[in-house]
Amino acid sequence: MSQRRESELAAHGFVREEGLHFPLTKRELTTIVAAALQEDDTRHDITTAATVTSNRRGRCNVVARQAGVIAGLTLACEAFEQLDPTVTMRIEHADGSRVGPQTSVMFLSGHARGLLSAERVALNFMQRLSGIATLTARYVEAIAGTRAHILDTRKTTPLLRRLEKYAVRAGGGLNHRMDLSSAVLIKDNHLAAVDGDIAVAVTRARAVAPPGIKVEVECDTLDEVRAAVDAGADVIMLDNMQLLDVREAVKLVDGRAVTEASGGITLDTVRFVAETGVDWISVGALTHSAPALDLALDFD
């Protein structure tokens, strides 16, 4: 796929290619972190209040216990700052950085009570997002040297989508559509509503979608791929197809649309899929099944 073609699709919601920019405004950041701190009732941390005097200060650092890719530092910093506005922090490895085991990610100095009460919220955000970034990086590494790109899906935690998709970018992946208004994606259940007529579905989509919005069609068979290409779809999703069929579909499309492989693709199989020549490989597991990265807060 040409750079021009990919940039065009990025401009219309299919793939987000911008650099690694934190996705929340300051107000949104403050709100989501405050809600997380309230959920943990950090203002009434009876354990810390019972064991740590109010004037006690502490120094600590966030440590990666295992190798991975860091994401979520902005959220962690906000958590510590909300409970101790005087805290000082020094980031050693920014979001998107690869770290090895026992690596110090950031150092903090401030009131011990604030540091201790904010610890779990800060680490929860970082462990979740760093886990996504780390798994994404593994998929990206697995297809290195091919033409394919790794994309996420909308299988995200409710209300955390922008953060989780940000973590995918931190790991070197790309974002598929952000929401239902970003692009048209005609799936099997949509096709059922038009008796499986792909041409009708595409025509109706183009009539209703805002100007410039691109259209993708999910295909299960090579016949559906032919129909989607003939209908003028911009992206052809090859859903749960066997490798031989994926390879044949890529040849059939012949650059007239972007090809996307999807469905049950694992780290063990992603390289084989990439070598078929597809443009994109979307993996729901990046966000719905990524294990948390093991991070800890160690006090001096």
Catalytic annotation on 188? no
Q: Annotated catalytic residue: which of 57, 59, 120, 256?
A: 120
Q: Annotated catalytic residue: which of 155, 206, 256, 271?
A: 155
* Interacting residues of 117 by C-beta distance below 8 A, sequence separation 6+: 40, 42, 43, 45, 48, 83
Quick check: 1 pLDDT over 60?
A: no
CA-wise closest residue to 83 among 56, 62, 113: 113
Catalytic annotation on 239? yes
Catalytic annotation on 120? yes
Q: Annotated catalytic residue: which of 218, 224, 234, 279?
A: 218
Quick check: 214 pLDDT over 70?
A: yes
Burial-class residue 205 by CB neighbours within 10 Å (0-12, 13-18, 19+): buried
Catalytic annotation on 234? no
CA-wise closest residue to 184 among 165, 169, 197, 203: 203
Q: Annotated catalytic residue: which of 65, 187, 223, 298?
A: 187
pLDDT of residue 15: 80
Joined tokens for residue 178: 């952000």
Compute CA 119 distance to the chain's CA centroid, rounded to the nearest angstrom.
24
Catalytic annotation on 279? no
Q: What is the pLDDT of residues 4-52, one digit of tens each?
A: 566 666 766 778 766 799 999 999 999 999 999 999 999 999 999 999 9
Q: What is the mean pLDDT of residues 100-129?
A: 98
Quick check: 159 pLDDT over 90?
A: yes
DSSP state letter for 247:
H
Q: Annotated catalytic residue: which of 6, 78, 216, 239?
A: 239
Q: What is the pLDDT of residues 218-255, one digit of tens each?
A: 999 999 999 999 999 999 999 999 999 999 999 999 99
Whether residue 125 contacts residue 36, with contact meaning beta carbons closer than 8 Å, is answered with: yes
Phi, psi of 43 (to 5 degrees): -75, -10
